[in-house]
Structure 1
Amino acid sequence: MTVVSDANEETITDRIDEAAGQTPFVIVDLAGTASKIVVMAVSRADFVIVTTLGAGLDAEQDSEARNVIRQHEKSMRRANPYYVLPYVVLLTRTNSAIRARTMAHIQKSQIDAGIPVFKSELNEREAFKAMFSFRQPLDHLRASAVTTVDKAIANVQGVSMTTKQIDPVAAPARKSLC
């Protein structure tokens, strides 16, 4: 895995294109929703995972991310009237032991509205925070120094398996919300 951290609004598309020439999968993790860098990254995407904490304010931000996707689709439809950019919402930093009613309500509301939502979630784990503190991937963290490494790895593998089962080309077309 290669991590590129020097991308900005002027270089993001070049960085994505360079990475796409070297590997079959490029993951772009960006903060914020409706910024220029997000718009630029979406313009290069084949599939988008919109992350949300499952709380009221974060759900509003994931709505802004979906608006960016819809705007991109509109612009692409000039050349291809049937263009759809597949996306799915991933709930992150969830509690693996307790299911908060607010999060369950938000998730149900999204599903009822026809918004695709991952069945698996990315749980809140100390090991995920440690990756940034120690600047190491999960599989390099020592279990003696960081708790829940094994559970974090299993959690990521579950999300990864769910992602692998999604075929963006064969994904059913969702209702256009444009």
Structure 2
Amino acid sequence: MPTIVFVSPKGGVGKTTAALLLASELARAAPVTVVDADPNHPIAAWGKGAALPANLSILADVDEDTIIDRIEEAAARTPFVIVDLEGTAAKIVLLAVSQADLVVIPMQGSQLDAEQASRAIRVLKQHEKMTGRAVPYGVLLTRTSPIIRTRTMGHIQSGLLDAGVPVFDTQLNEREAFRAVFSFQQTLEDLDPREVSNLDKAQANAEWFAAEVIERLRAARAGSETPTATSNVGAA
């Protein structure tokens, strides 16, 4: 069963938000387990106050000694496993990556974020050298404007593509609804559109991201290096 691992050496890039949005979207159609391996356990904290969808479960009792067992146990129970990690230096990251079918590296559109994302890519290359197995991955641009594509963003995106770094076609926009998921401890589907602006656009954005993840998993399984895009670029 597919295991999707979220990795970022830099805080504040929307990693946990992206992981939870993906898990919630996938859980609308199939059982999903989130392995919350971030030491702060933000998804587990969210889940304590949330009315979890029937298809969504969260595991937070994880460390370097148990991460592989927890992922294997989750994969045996549910079709999808989402792993939320913090940093790139810890041994637990390499262990989780060893179980991954796809790694998502969220980053914001700045040169600093691009440099930090390159650290995550080096971890994947290190894993490949150690094991001889290349793990499919993609950089996910987050907190982007749904209206304006800045010159800096365009420059960063072009630089990544020119360097041969796979970048998700879908971008996660800066949306009030994505913050409201944690504020109200609800999924996007459960939020009240009377209380959260542009909820429908946020839902569409999350759906496009989930659809592209599925397509990339299928492409990786089929041995394709360049998955077919299935979504619009960012704007919702």
Same fold (TM over 0.5): yes
SS in 1 for 2:170: coil
Q: How far apart, CA to CA, are the structure 2 residues paired with 1:135 and 1:16?
A: 25
Correspondence for 1:9 among 40, 64, 80? 64
Task: After TM superposition, list the pairs within 5 Å mapping 1:16-165 onto structure 2.
Answer: 16-77=71-132, 83-165=133-215
Q: Which has the higher contact order (CA 8 A, sep 6+)?
A: 2
Q: How far apart, CA to CA, are the structure 1 residues paired with 2:109 and 2:92?
A: 23
Say whether the 8 Å CA contact 1:34–1:65 is kept in structure 2. Answer: no
Q: How far apart, CA to CA, are the structure 2 residues paired with 1:146 and 1:87?
A: 32
Q: CA RMSD in A?
A: 1.6
- Structure 1 residue 171 and structure 2 residue 224: aligned? yes
Q: What amino acid is aligned across from residue 207 of structure 2 in structure 1?
A: Q
SS in 2 for 1:26: strand
Same amino acid, percent of matched pairs: 51
- Tell me, which stretches of 5 or more residues in structure 1 are unaligned? 78-82, 174-178
Paired residues in the alignment total 168
Q: How far apart, CA to CA, are the structure 1 residues paired with 2:123 and 2:100?
A: 12
Say whether the 8 Å CA contact 1:33–1:61 is kept in structure 2. Answer: no
- Normalising by structure 1, we get a TM-score of 0.86
- Tell me, which stretches of 5 or more residues in structure 2 are unaligned? 1-55, 227-236
Q: How far apart, CA to CA, are the structure 2 residues paired with 1:162 and 1:9?
A: 30
Q: How far apart, CA to CA, are the structure 1 residues paired with 2:173 and 2:58?
A: 22
Describe the shift of the 1:63–1:14 C-alpha distance in structure 2 as closer, same or farther (beyond 3 A): same
